[in-house]
């Protein structure tokens, strides 16, 4: 029986990648913002409809860098229903996360719960577009303008997503995208910041290059987060195929929906009106009282059939042991409840209809026991 993992990286043909990297052997320019890096940066700015793009070696360091470049101080309103990176980037910048609960349908930050969390120390909002679903960008923008707050989106899950005619990168003051190997678009490891204020260009460059302004001046304490030429070459290859890859993912998602819709005790991810999705993940909630099996039981039983799903996100970040109970999870009850029910099912471009059916058959049979 063939193993089905929760994700599988999309890859260009080997010959295409070899052709893309050939001239690196001529230039011997392997990193430090070379030709491949600059070409990818320009192409991504166009694809994402972003005013400005700065590439990084991964999405986490991109998020850390933009928070540092904005020179933020104080409290940041964010969500605990996210991957570790979001919260860790905030804390590592010396900022205090203030956790806002989520909308039970989109799993993104509930804008109706933001304003009561704003204090004199609030400097920014860091919402997360979750599973490819888009935050209520209009409501968040209105709150930010009213209270003079920066908005930095964690857009790791929303590469290529559009709201109406607008690219997702055009919202907020900045957005971070992850190009990790498991994402819809990847550069093996990688990420970027999309932003509006051109003044951030030099600040972000300093943040990803040891705090160096030029060979003799170091105005900031910073690290090394530059994307290398081999990463950029992979990105140039994958960008040529990403639209077709998204269509394949869409086909798999719609097959899941056909098979699992209207099953008592199962809540499926839903497309949002007016949004062009990228079908990054397929989260499913299992209500044990109705379905008859808990999320954990479903996950374990799938694994016995060599099908590997993921409890994503669990636990919520505010419950991490590294924070030693500093952030009461009782203040975000919806996020906590969803984290205990959610399971992301396998999803990738090459996932066949037969494999989707195999996964669904196991789940449906569990519900009948």
Domain boundary assignment for the chain: 14-237, 242-367
Domain spanning 14-237: CATH 3.40.640.10: yes
Phi and psi at 312, nearest 5°, equal: -130, 100
Widest CA span in the chain:
70
Same fold, 14-237 and 242-367: no
The answer to whether 91 and 345 have CB atoms below 8 angstroms apart is: no
Task: Name every residue whose Cβ is closer than 8 Å to that of residue 369 and which is 6 or more positions away in sequence.
Answer: 292, 293
Burial category of 228 from C-beta neighbours within 10 Å (exposed 0-12, middle 13-18, buried 19 and up): buried
Domain spanning 242-367: CATH 3.90.79.10: no
pLDDT tens-digit profile, the chain (369 residues): 799 999 999 999 999 999 999 999 999 999 999 999 999 999 999 999 999 999 999 999 999 999 999 999 999 999 999 999 999 999 999 999 999 999 999 999 999 999 999 999 999 999 999 999 999 999 999 999 999 999 999 999 999 999 999 999 999 999 999 999 999 999 999 999 999 999 999 999 999 999 999 999 999 999 999 999 999 999 999 999 999 999 999 999 999 999 999 999 999 999 999 999 999 999 999 999 999 999 999 999 999 999 999 999 999 999 999 999 999 999 999 999 999 999 999 999 999 999 999 999 999 998 655
Strand partners, 343: 284
pTM confidence score: 0.97
DSSP 128: B
User: How confident is the model at residue 367, as a pLDDT?
Assistant: 64
The 10 Å Cβ neighbour count of residue 116 is 8
DSSP 81: S
């Amino acid at each position: 029986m063939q193993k089905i993992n929760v994700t599988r990286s999309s890859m260009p043909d080997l010959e295409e990648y070899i052709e893309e990297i050939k001239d690196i052997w001529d230039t011997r320019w392997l990193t430090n913002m070379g030709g491949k890096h600059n070409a990818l940066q320009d192409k991504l700015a166009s694809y994402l409809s972003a005013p400005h793009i700065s590439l990084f070696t991964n999405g986490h360091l991109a998020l850390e860098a933009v928070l540092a470049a904005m020179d933020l101080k104080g409290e940041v309103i964010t969500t605990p229903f996210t991957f570790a990176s979001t919260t860790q980037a905030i804390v590592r910048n010396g900022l205090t996360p203030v956790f806002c609960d989520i909308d039970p349908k989109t799993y993104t930050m509930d804008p109706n719960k933001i304003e009561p969390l704003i204090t004199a120390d609030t400097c920014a909002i860091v919402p997360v577009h979750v599973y490819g679903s888009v935050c209520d960008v209009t409501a968040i923008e209105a709150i930010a303008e009213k209270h003079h707050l920066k908005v930095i989106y964690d857009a790791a899950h929303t590469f290529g997503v559009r709201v109406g005619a607008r690219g997702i990168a055009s919202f907020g003051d900045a957005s971070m995208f992850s190009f990790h190997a498991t994402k819809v678009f990847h550069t093996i490891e990688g990420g970027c910041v999309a932003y509006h204020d051109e003044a951030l260009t030099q600040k972000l460059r300093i943040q990803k290059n040891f705090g160096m302004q030029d060979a003799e001046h170091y105005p900031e304490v910073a690290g090394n987060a530059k994307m290398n030429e081999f990463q950029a070459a992979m990105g140039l290859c994958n960008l040529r195929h990403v639209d077709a890859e998204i269509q394949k993912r869409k086909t798999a998602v719609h097959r899941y929906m056909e098979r699992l819709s209207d099953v008592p005790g199962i809540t499926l991810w839903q497309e949002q009106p007016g949004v062009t999705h990228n079908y990054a993940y397929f989260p499913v909630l299992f209500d044990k009282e109705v379905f008859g099996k808990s999320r954990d039981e479903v996950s374990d039983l799938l694994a016995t059939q060599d099908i590997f799903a993921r409890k994503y996100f669990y636990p919520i970040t505010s419950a991490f042991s590294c924070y030693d109970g500093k952030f009461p999870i009782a203040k975000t009850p919806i996020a906590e409840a969803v984290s205990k029910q959610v399971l992301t099912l396998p999803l990738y471009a090459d996932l066949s209809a037969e494999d989707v059916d195999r996964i669904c058959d196991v789940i449906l049979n569990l519900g009948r026991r």
